[in-house]
Structure 1
Amino acid sequence: MTSIDSSFAERLALLNMPAVQETLPNIKHGVERETLRINPNGSLSQKAHNPDLGSALTHETITTDFSESLLEFITPPESNPDVTLAQLADVHKYVMQKIDEERLWPLSMPCFIDGEDNIPIAQYGSSNVGKMKTLYRTGLKNRYGSMMQAIAGVHFNFSLPESFWQVWLENSAQQVANKETISAAYFAMIRNYRRFCWLIPYLYGASPAICSSFIRGKKTSLPFQKLGKGTLYLPYATSLRMSDLGYTNSEQSGLKICYNHLDSYISSLRRAINTPSDKYQKFAGKKDGKYQQLNANVLQIENELYSPIRPKQPTQPLEKPTDALERRGVSYIEVRALDVNPFSAVGIDKEQFYFLDVFLTFCLVAPSEAMNDEQYAQTEKNLKSVVINGRDPALKLQHLTESMSIPQWSESLFEKMRGVAEALDKANSTAAYSRSLETQWQKIIDPSLTPSETLLNTLLSEGKDNGTLGVELAQKYRDELLSTPFKQFDIQTFERQASDSLALQRQKEQANTLSFDDFLEDYFNQK
């Protein structure tokens, strides 16, 4: 047994300590699910955000992302996955009731869109903060194009309770739990996540195919094959959403964001926000009296950093994310590598909760040394390989100095994760964590069980276009959700939230005391 294996065994033993076990049922999760509003024929809705849903600026549960047509549903932190899934189903049902004949697109990659100008940018009203949110999205459109921004994903938020950190840090590192030590432990988890996150698109990637309209007029070196009337696919792809077709920014490749310490992460991110970009200088200033972006730097704001995971701390009004992290440390982590699950009406299922709990807890328990630039680049290369060719039996990933197949590497990872799953099972008086882990292991043994191959086989065997399948699933889930009773919320709750959010937006608009130019200057100059 190597020293690292020995250290893992020792830390796993701590996870089974009674004092630690008592805290594990209080692990909390939240979900942010993105989905496009579509017409019955599968085309993108051109309607504005329905005011019956409330204000996209101030509503805590129902908002929009890049586009007026791209909804985002947010659940609060909960320890029970059943509660979160019921909340999500309730939100979906309420939205369905308010959008008439429209449906919600069940895939990550966009539906058929007839040109980028048919993707309406999200509008947030006339307050300065609302105009800033819209301008940020205008900048994204100018920098990357709207089509990329119409991609949808599921973000999985994960946090361990304060009681856990008190016992864990005292016994694993002889440290007192505080902002610095808890943040350092979260960053150790993040580094391990970066090392192993190629597993996420392999297990849950569900975008091996795209509508050809997505790349119309663009050059790509990917060897796409065609099926149906207009679907393009890669035979071994898992998540085209995570590929260079999706959320990428060539300007960010040289940023070298550091995940070794909270301070280095903040300073490297702030440097990116303050580094001028020659490429984006062409959008500087105003055109026809209107700004084209928030600024001409590599990142307009922190949210523009594309990463499969983020350390998070809830922000106060007008507080920058890096300032929130600096002042209060890491509160939770946001997993951003999940495709929308097309086999679930709400985009994610309970099996995923259990596995992600195991995987993320494993990333915490496993030793996690600091990463240098070369090691970080290796993690990026592995992730890119899996999203394009993850089911290719000939694929090799680089693990330190070794070249390994996915089954080879997974065998050692799953062996360790089984110990973590057993600890979580024991703490929660269940077998669900181990069962979920073994379900995922079957996908390692048999790639045909992965969502990406299941979906692709459906398209190929039926000669069906990606868009046709999406429309069929959208109709199916609409019928299911509308016929399901509310479980966690009720109509009165949603109507009150909508009314309160609209009132809060009006307050913000009436409270404008600065010109928008002065507001932006103050925002970026605040210390």
Structure 2
Amino acid sequence: MNYQHAALPCRLQGLIDLNYHHLLKQGLKGIEKESLRITDHGAIAQTPHPAPIGAALTHPYITTDYSEALMEFITPPFADIKQTLDFMHQLHQFSYPLLGEEMLLATSMPCGIEGDLSIPIAQYGQSNIGKMKHVYRKGLWHRYGRTMQAIAGIHFNYSVPEGLWPVLYQLSGEDSGLEQFISSAYFGLIRNFHRQGWLILYLFGASPAICKTFFSSRPSLMDEFQEFDAYTVYHPYATSLRMSDIGYKSKNQAGLRIDYNSLQGYVDSLGAAINTPYPEYEAIGVKVNGEYQQLNANILQIENEFYSTMRPKQIAQSGEKPTLALKRRGVLYVEMRSLDLNLFNPIGIDESTARFIEAFLLTCLLHDSPYQAPEEFCINNNNQLLVANQGRKPGLMLNKMGTDISLRDWAHSILHAMQPICALLDQGSIDKHYQLALQQQLAVVDNPALTPSARILACMKENDQEFGCFAKNTSNLHKHYFMAQPLDAPQQQQFEEMAAASHKKQLTIENNDRLNFDDFLTHYFSQS
């Protein structure tokens, strides 16, 4: 792959000219994976988060997301993606024997829902921070329903190589200060991802069909879909219904215009949404008959309620608001949130996908990224919804900055721009993993039948299975896979010690609370 003869972005050409392109390989990659615990009959588990796994509030790597049944596995960040994936594998090896008759649902879209109330809200103990996490989730229930919150996905965390920043700063010729430059460059990455992130849905979307039970609390929404069989609805060309309007995205937030042109603009616009009352939520009430129903009645209760495909992130200290952490210390990494669980892989993501995403994010960083005009928000959002609902439709046209372009042509253009990055990431490697990952996805662009979404529908048709049955059978295969691969003794002991330490830490937090919950919330939201 002769990247020297391609038209390279200035940042990348500068790195090559200064012989610093080897720094590209050192970015840190972490993965967060959500999975619903289900019974052997396929229903959502009603049991508490298993205590031997650890305390969800304080365990560093295994917690819960919205529901007590929605487990979340979190890896530390590693420069070598293989280490990241190995750690995720070990988390599953440790957890599976502790699930009893239950298993983890392999799909992003939930099955086995018996009404909204069949999804138990996560509990985090009696500490103020634990109560806050629970009340926040109660607020989500009242605002959006529990069903939407039971959808699972993969979050890909990426931190640009630390050694790269001084070089890019020097190449930029800017004098704003390194920390400000870093945050500005991360927001450039995010803007480019918003423009091109629909490609992730096309290539890796794995939620083309939905169990009818998903609509038990909103049956009218089923009218938008075709019937696959008596138990399943779908869109024939869908890629990721998780990322459509009935899934992860929220119509309630459609009017929000969060500013991604600068860190200050982002913090201010997100902060305004957290501090602006919303009549529909005021009608719910905050504290009703002495019991909290939500943290507040504003457009957003806290930052995490904003459903974005990518978030700028900084590690928050205990009790610190995420926007305040960003304001004080700048952006440390980005969290890409648009990846469905790959049900063809036991841990939900494979190495080739992870390497492709790393190269894709670096491409977003190194290319120019104009500020986002107000109308671009709608264009980007519409492109995403189009690909989510009908991304495999022959001849599908998207809107590229006001110009119509076919999905296939635009995808080819993006993959072409990734070629030099992949070649540089592969330098010194015999296996050429990144270029191979790129070639695999080029084949998927040229043949939609190779997409995970198409393969899922093909498997369901071939086996004459409704989505719920297909999902449960695949989940059972994953369970047998992990049960046949126990951890070795030292690793097992290490995870058991982590679990015990997490319970002790939760108890310490509960015993050290000095404020009542009302005062705790007042103090939390008054941070500035």
Q: 1:99 to 1:178 in 2, by over 3 A?
A: same
* Whole-Å separation in 2 of the counterparts to 1:489 and 1:310: 36
- CA offsets 1:42-94 (integer angstroms, 9 cap, x no match): 11110001111111001110000011100000000001111111111111111
Aligned equivalent of 2:139: 139
Aligned to 1:244: 245
Contact preservation (8 Å) 1:68, 1:122: yes
Structure 1 residue aligned with 2:53: 53
User: Could you tell me whether the CA contact under 8 Å between 2:202 and 2:239 is conserved in 1?
Assistant: yes
Pair 1:6–1:322, CA change in 2 (3 A): farther
Q: Which residue of 2 aligns with 1:93?
A: 93
Q: Which secondary structure state, in structure 1, belongs to the residue aligned with residue 427 of structure 2?
A: helix
**TM-superposition CA deviations, 1:216-254 (whole Å, max 9, x none):** 242227642223430111100000100111123333222
Match of 1:358, as an amino acid? A
Q: Does residue 384 of structure 2 align to residue 383 of structure 1?
A: yes
Q: Is the Cα–Cα contact under 8 Å of residues 46 and 69 in structure 1 kept in the other structure?
A: yes
Rounded to whole Å, the distance in 1 between the matches of 2:477 and 2:309 is 30
Structure 2 counterpart of 1:124? 124
Q: Structure 1 residue 18: deviation in Å? A: 5.7
CA contact under 8 A between 2:25 and 2:161: conserved in structure 1? Answer: no
Q: Which moved more, 1:283-292 or 1:202-211?
A: 283-292
Secondary structure, aligned partner of 2:207: coil
> What are the Cα deviations for residues 185-234 of structure 1, in whole angstroms up to 9, with x where unaligned?
11001100000000000000000001101012422276422234301111
Matched, 1:235 2:236: yes
**Secondary structure of residue in 1 paired with 2:461:** helix
- Structure 2 match to 1:21: 21
Which is further off, 465-474 or 134-143? 465-474
TM, length-normalised to structure 1: 0.96
Q: TM-score, normalised by structure 2?
A: 0.96
- Please state how far the C-alpha of 1:6 moved relative to its aligned partner: 9.7
Q: Distance in 2 between matches of 1:347 and 1:245?
A: 22
**Matched residue pairs, number?**
523
Task: Give the distance between the partners of 1:222 and 1:166, measured in 2 at CA.
Answer: 54
- Matches of residues 425-444 of structure 1 in structure 2 within 5 Å? 425-426=426-427, 430-444=431-445
Aligned to 2:69: 69
1:83 equivalent in structure 2 = 83
Matches of residues 321-332 of structure 1 in structure 2 within 5 Å? 321-332=322-333
Counterparts of 1:167 and 1:429, CA distance in 2: 27
* Aligned partners of 1:21 and 1:427 also within 8 Å: no
Amino acid at match of 2:475: A
| Identity value in percent | 42
Listed as ranges, the matches of 1:397-436 within 5 Å are 397-426=398-427, 430-436=431-437
Quote the Cα distance in structure 2 between the aligned partners of 1:19 and 1:498: 45
CA distance in structure 2 between the partners assigned to 1:257 and 1:400 by the alignment: 19
In the alignment, the residues of structure 2 paired with residue 463 and residue 42 of structure 1 have an alpha-carbon distance, to the nearest angstrom, of 18
Q: Contact 1:55/1:501 (CA < 8 Å) preserved in 2?
A: yes
Q: Give matches, 1:323-472, under 5 Å.
A: 323-426=324-427, 430-472=431-473
Letter in 2 for 1:31: I
Determine the structure 1 residue equivalent to 2:38.
38
Sort the Cα spacing of 1:229 and 1:489 in 2 relative to 1 into closer, same or farther, 3 A.
Answer: farther
| Shift of residue 175, structure 1, vs aligned partner | 5.1
Residues 425-477 of structure 1, C-alpha deviation per residue, up to 9 Å, x if partnerless?
A: 12656511111011001111000000000001111222211111111111111
Contact 2:116/2:216 (CA < 8 Å) preserved in 1?
no
Corresponding letter in the other structure for 1:511: N
- Checking the alignment, whether the CA contact within 8 Å between 1:227 and 1:463 is kept in structure 2 is no
Preserved contact between residue 352 and residue 437 of structure 2 (Cα < 8 Å): yes
For residues 162-202 of structure 1, what are the alpha-carbon distances to aligned partners after superposition, in whole Å with 9 as ceiling and x for unaligned? 21111122124455862211000110011000000000000
Question: Which position in structure 2 is the counterpart of 1:517?
Answer: 518
Whole-angstrom distance in 1 between the partners of 2:373 and 2:330: 23
CA RMSD for the aligned pairs?
A: 1.8
- Matches of 1:8 and 1:509 in 2, distance apart? 55
Deviations 1:316-348 (A, max 9, x none): 000000000000000000000000111110011
**What is the distance in 2 between the residues matched to 1:222 and 1:493?**
50
Give the counterpart letter for 1:25 in structure 2.
K
Whether the aligned pair in 1 keeps the contact of 2:94 and 2:486 (CA below 8 Å) is: no
Q: Give matches, 1:223-302, under 5 Å.
A: 223-302=224-303
Equivalents in 2 of 1:432, 1:115: separation in Å?
45
Q: Secondary structure at the match of 1:86?
A: helix
TM superposition shift of 1:14: 2.5
Q: Structure 2 CA distance, aligned partners of 1:428 and 1:303?
A: 39
Deviates more, 1:256-265 or 1:78-87: 78-87
Query: Hey, what's the Cα distance between the residues in 2 that align with 1:221 and 1:477?
Result: 30
CA distance in 2, matches of 1:481, 1:179: 43
The answer to which of 153-162 and 167-176 deviates more is: 167-176
Letter in 1 for 2:399: Q
Task: Please tell me whether the aligned partners of residues 258 and 266 of structure 2 are also in contact (alpha carbons under 8 angstroms).
Answer: yes
One-letter amino acid of the counterpart of residue 332, structure 2: S
Q: Which residue of 2 aligns with 1:107?
A: 107
Do the aligned residues in 1 keep the contact of 2:275 with 2:298 (CA within 8 Å)?
A: yes
| Superposed displacement of residue 485, structure 1 | 4.5
Output the CA distance in 2 between the equivalents of 1:489 and 1:116: 42
Instruction: For structure 2, list consecutive stretches of 5 or more residues without a partner in the other structure.
Output: none
For residue 45 of structure 2, give the secondary structure of its aligned residue in structure 1.
coil
> One-letter code of the match for 1:82?
K
Contact kept, 8 Å, 1:103 with 1:474, in 2: the verdict is yes
Taking the aligned partners of 2:234 and 2:243, their CA distance within structure 1 comes to 14
When residues 268 and 428 of structure 1 are mapped into structure 2, their CA distance, relative to the original with a 3 A threshold, is farther
Conservation of the 8 A alpha-carbon contact between 2:212 and 2:222: no
- Which whole-Å CA distance do the structure 2 matches of 1:521 and 1:361 have between them? 40
The 2-side partners of 1:343 and 1:17 are apart by 42
Cα–Cα, structure 1 residues 341 and 263, in superposed 2: closer, same or farther, change >3 Å? same
Alpha-carbon distance, 1:11 to partner? 2.8
Q: SS of the residue aligned with 2:344?
A: coil
The residue type equivalent to 1:465 in the other structure is E
Alpha-carbon shift at residue 368 of structure 1 (Å): 0.5
Q: Which residue of 1 aligns with 2:187?
A: 187
Is contact 1:153–1:338 with CA below 8 Å preserved after alignment?
yes
Q: Distance in 2 between matches of 1:453 and 1:129?
A: 43
Contact 1:14 1:172 in 2 (8 A): no
Q: Return closer, same or farther for 1:221/1:230 CA change in 2, 3 Å cut-off.
A: closer
- The amino acid of 2:213's aligned partner reads S
Q: Structure 1: 5+ residue runs without aligned partners? A: none
Provide the C-alpha distance between the structure 1 equivalents of 2:404 and 2:502, rounded to a whole number of angstroms.
53
In the other structure, the counterpart of 2:492 is 491
Cα distance between partner residues in 2 of 1:173 and 1:352: 35
